[in-house]
C-alpha cells in the first residue's frame, strides 16, 4: 500500500472540543516537567509565550499550553533529542508529521510534540532566529537583543525569555489575556526595558498601537 504524507488543515474556527475530537487531547507539561525533559540537552532552550510573563511563584492566569523556544540552527539536535517522540510541523493552519527525512521549511516557525498518536500534545516548540550570540525578532530581524539579555534564568533555575519580548509578540493582537499581561508586567519593567519595548513596537507595529502611549 502506498503511503502518503497527508497534511490536515486546521480551520481557524475550530473549537477546542472539536480539535480534541480530531487531533487528540492537550495536556501541557508543567515548567518543572519541561526542565526535566530538556535536562542535559546539547542545545539552549527557554520558556517563551504566556508562561514567560509569569513573574511570581504562582501563575496569575490559566495557560492553555506551554511554549519552548530554541535556536532554529539547533533543529537537527532537537529532532535527535526527541527521536522517541512525534514532532509535527504546524504552519498556516496545516499540521504535518515530521518524518525523519522531512525538512522543515525556512519560513515555518512552530512545532508540536507528543509521545505518540495515543498520547496528548505536550508543548509547542518555537523555532527562533539566533545568529551567534544575538536574538532576532522573527517579524523584523533588525530588532535584536544579546542572548545574555534576551534569556534570563528564574529563581527556579528555568530559563525564560525576557518579559518585554513576550509583550512585543503580544502587541499585535492584544486580546484580553494580552491586555492583562501588559497591565501586570509593564510596571515591573525598568526604564531601559520599557524604552526597548516602546521602540520595538514603534518599529514593527502601526503608529496607532495603543500600547505605545502607555509605555
pLDDT computed for residue 10 by the predictor: 58
Architecture category of domain 1-161 in CATH = 2-Layer Sandwich (3.30)
pLDDT computed for residue 93 by the predictor: 80
Mean pLDDT by 10 residues, the chain (215 residues): 45 74 91 97 97 90 94 97 97 90 94 96 97 96 97 93 97 95 97 98 98 97
CB-based contacts of 50, cutoff 8 Å, min separation 6: 61, 63, 67, 166, 177, 181
CATH 3.30.460 spans which residues of the chain?
Answer: 1-161
CB-based contacts of 127, cutoff 8 Å, min separation 6: 70, 72, 75, 104, 108, 109, 110, 111
Report the length, in residues, of the chain.
215
Tell how far CA 185 is from the center of its chain.
Answer: 18
pLDDT computed for residue 1 by the predictor: 38
Q: What stretches of the chain show up as alpha helix (H) in DSSP?
A: 16-23, 31-38, 75-81, 147-150, 163-170, 176-185, 191-204, 210-213
**For strand 86-91 and strand 67-71, is the pairing parallel, antiparallel, or unpaired?**
unpaired
**For strand 94-97 and strand 140-146, is the pairing parallel, antiparallel, or unpaired?**
unpaired
pLDDT computed for residue 79 by the predictor: 98
Q: Take residue 143 and report the three cell numbers written for it.
A: 530588532
pLDDT computed for residue 6 by the predictor: 46
Phi, psi of 69 (to 5 degrees): -95, 155
Amino acid at each position: 500500500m502506498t503511503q502518503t504524507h497527508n497534511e490536515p488543515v486546521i480551520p481557524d474556527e475550530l473549537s477546542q472540543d472539536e480539535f480534541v475530537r480530531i487531533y487528540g487531547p492537550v495536556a501541557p507539561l508543567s515548567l518543572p516537567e519541561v526542565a526535566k525533559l530538556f535536562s542535559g540537552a546539547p542545545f539552549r532552550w527557554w520558556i517563551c509565550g504566556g508562561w514567560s510573563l509569569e513573574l511570581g511563584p504562582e501563575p496569575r492566569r490559566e495557560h492553555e499550553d506551554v511554549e519552548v523556544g530554541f535556536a532554529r540552527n539547533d533543529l537537527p539536535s532537537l529532532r535527535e533529542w526527541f527521536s522517541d517522540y512525534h514532532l509535527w510541523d504546524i504552519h498556516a493552519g496545516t499540521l504535518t508529521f515530521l518524518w525523519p527525512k522531512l525538512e522543515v521549511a525556512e519560513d515555518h516557525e512552530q512545532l508540536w510534540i507528543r509521545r505518540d498518536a495515543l498520547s496528548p500534545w505536550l508543548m509547542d516548540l518555537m523555532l527562533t532566529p539566533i545568529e551567534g550570540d544575538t536574538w532576532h525578532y522573527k517579524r523584523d530581524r533588525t530588532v535584536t537583543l544579546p542572548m545574555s539579555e534576551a534569556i534570563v534564568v528564574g529563581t527556579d533555575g528555568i530559563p525564560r525569555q525576557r518579559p518585554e519580548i513576550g509583550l512585543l509578540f503580544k502587541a499585535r493582537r492584544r486580546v484580553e489575556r494580552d491586555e492583562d499581561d501588559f497591565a501586570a508586567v509593564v510596571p515591573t519593567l525598568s526604564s531601559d526595558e520599557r524604552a526597548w519595548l516602546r521602540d520595538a513596537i514603534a518599529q514593527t507595529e502601526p503608529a496607532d498601537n495603543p500600547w505605545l502611549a502607555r509605555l
